[in-house]
Amino acid sequence: MANDDLIRRVADELEIRTLIAKLSCASDEGSPQDYGALFTEDAVWRMGQIPGAPKQFPPIAGRAAILAGLNERRAANIGGPGSHSRHAVFQSIVEVDGDTAKARSYVAFYVELDKTPKMQLFAVYQDAFVRAPDGWKLSAREIEPA
C-alpha cells in the first residue's frame, strides 16, 4: 500500500471513529440539528429486540424521521439533556472500502447518572457510512443484542 493510500485510509478511519463519538454525544446532549447533520438524507435506523431497552422502536427511514425519533425519545425523557443518561461507545472495528465503510461497536446505555449510575442496556451498533462532500455520514445503524 502506497504511503498516500495508507494516510488516506488512516484519516478516514479516524474521521469515522470521531463520527461515531459525535453521534452519541449529539444524541445525549447536542441539538437535534447537530445530530441530524451526521446522517445521510436517506439514512436508516433500526433497533432490534434489546433486553433492557426502555421500549422497542420501529425502524426509521430518512433523516427527518430519525430527528422525529430523537425528539420523541427526548420528550419521553428516555435520553437527551436532563434525562441523566449517556451512551458509552467502545471497541469499534472500522473497515473502510473507498467511499463506503462499516463499523461494529459495543454500546452501553447508562441511566440515573444523577444517583448511582446503572447500565440499562448493552448492545452492538452495526453501522454503515458513506463519504459525502462535507465528510463521512452515517447511512445505516442497526442496534442488536450483544
- Domain locations along the chain: 3-145
Taking the whole predicted model, whether its pTM rises above 0.85 is answered as yes
> Which are the contacts of 47, defined by CB distance < 8 A and separation ≥ 6?
53, 56, 57, 143
Alpha carbon separation from 134 to 37, 40, 64, 130 (Å, rounded): 10, 11, 19, 11
Angle formed at CA 70 by CA 80 and CA 47, multiple of 5 degrees: 110
Q: Edge to edge, what strands does the sheet with 60-61 contain?
A: 60-61, 39-47, 135-145, 118-132, 100-111, 86-97
**pLDDT tens sequence for the chain (146 residues):** 689 999 999 999 999 999 999 999 999 999 999 999 999 999 999 988 877 776 777 899 999 999 999 999 999 999 999 999 999 999 999 999 999 999 999 999 999 999 999 999 999 999 999 999 999 999 999 999 98
Written out in words, the top-level CATH class of the domain with range 3-145 is alpha beta
Give SS3 for 70.
helix
pLDDT of res. 56: 76
How many residues are listed for the chain in this entry? 146
pLDDT of res. 51: 77
pLDDT of res. 1: 65
In 3-134, beta strands by DSSP E: 39-47, 60-61, 86-97, 100-111, 118-132
